[in-house]
Structure 1
Amino acid sequence: MRDTSGTRTSNKRAASRSSRLSIVIALSASALLSVVVGPAHAAPAKDPLPADIPDYQAALNAVKSTDLRNAVCRFLRTPVPTDSASGQVETIPDTAEPCQGLPVFTIKDPVALNEITPGFVAGTVQPLPTEAIKLTQLVSSLSTTVNGRNATVMLAPTQGGGWHLAAVRDGDSDATYASKAGLGTLVFTEPQIRGWYQLRLTTVEPLNDQARQGLGGKASVSLSDYQKLVKARYADKLPGSQYDSKGYSGGYSLQRKEDDAPSSTLLLASGSGTALALAGGAFVLRRRRRATTR
């Protein structure tokens, strides 16, 4: 009779080695997964603040503040003027609970509103993204329509750092277009024609009809060619020109005189449409004259 004890012992040793190897592989795989995906029950990391927007936390605090929300509510409670007369002013009642009775809404996180720079328009700087485009304001829209109306909150930089409420504008197109910026792209506006563009490296692409008209119907142009277009349109309309002294709104100035006011006085932001202004503690609703370059 053949002795099989040695074979059984060998099989046991092989099985033991195989078991230990399986455990090692399992532990290694588990350790690798922990490094790659992190603990299974770990809380998701918070989204980082935008690196291209200075003092962004201050902007978030501003749009979440009670004072700003009350300003938006006062704006929404006031009917939009139907008369397009220049300089029209309507008093907005300063109620104790301006949001009472209005549908619930939130104000979205603000996004960058970029504009072409005066140097780019004048042709005194190179057609480079860092020279052509500059952050001028932040814009934020509402999470939902309120009584059939949309609104855009506009924040201006505060001297010394931070952001403050500059205006509340009817509609949400500014915030909608500004939020289209993505990885590797930059969105900016040419306010004079209400044109919105996307800059991809050094290629300018239109985002709305006004921008397409501004590019002469082309699907895209180089940043250099776009500079030639805006120089022809606005070089004689830069700050200090006769066109500027008449108070026309346009895409050639980073900050108009209204934006130089102290943060305690909210004035109408550049552009067309209706906006909320706070001057001397009294809320008013203004319409501003706007000229369109043809």
Structure 2
Amino acid sequence: MSTETPEPDITSRPRGRAARERMYQYLLLLCAALSILVTISIVALLARDAITFFTLVNPLDFFGGTEFLLSRDVYGLLPLLSGTLLVTVIAALIALPTGVAAAVYLSEYASDRMRSVLKPGLEVLAGIPTVVYGIFALVYVTPFLRTIGLPVNTFNILSPSIMVGIMIVPMVSSLSEDAMSAVPDSLRRAGYGMGATKFEVTTGVVLPAAASGIFSSFILALSRAIGETMIVVVAAGSQPRMLNLAEPLQNLWQGFQPMTAAMVQINSADSVSQLGFSSMFAIGLTLFAITFLLNLVSNRIAARYREEYE
């Protein structure tokens, strides 16, 4: 007669518990599906009104036009795109190196006590309302730039770009620091064992190993800069203009109107034609397409360069 006792079946669950598990599963599925549905609905509504606009305006005239004048029903995207790209480039020049440097310090050099102070302090920047950044750019940054001798106008592209760059520093630093903290300590110890200094380990081991996360933070931060609204509405002005390629520095002193600011102007205008109102959706759809492509690039970079450790 066998004395072995049967092993308990740990996979079986009471009927009521199994029903609750299915309910939780369906509830979570509903939440996931709702987020996708909202995104699809937004895109569909943008596309519907944008199609109405493009039935009246040649898409080539819109995407290749060099003038944007609501009063004359002239809708060219290039002046608005110029302002958006200029803000993004200047903000990137400020935020990307600053954010990575902050992340390197927090991940590799800062003590636990210093990290507990600096990281929340950086993240506070992300919680400041963007209209406050815009007012700060107009009231304080522009006069300061004049004080140091830069011939900026009251409304200029440099001041809001600086504040957009400061605004996205926490995104770059936080995501980059998370990516560097995920690098196994065994790689660091291997570098030290070969006689490398801390700086050499950081630049030669940690940064390459965390490259996918760092580049993803760059793309996400640029997407945030492209879609920024209130800072540029307050401080960049409302003059759509093309970039002056002959004198590049002159662009920094003048006001521009990025795509988001143009959408705000159209929506808040006292009187605007139906065509002008529809142009807001064409601009919005273009802005969505740009940010969507940037996020696709971010996902591809993360998948291509992701390091897997056991």
If the length of structure 1 is used for normalisation, what is the TM-score?
A: 0.26
Structure (1 or 2) with the greater strand fraction: 1
Point out the structure with max Rg over C-alpha: 1
Structure (1 or 2) with the greater helix fraction: 2
- The one of the two structures with greater contact order (alpha-carbon pairs below 8 A, sep at least 6) is 2
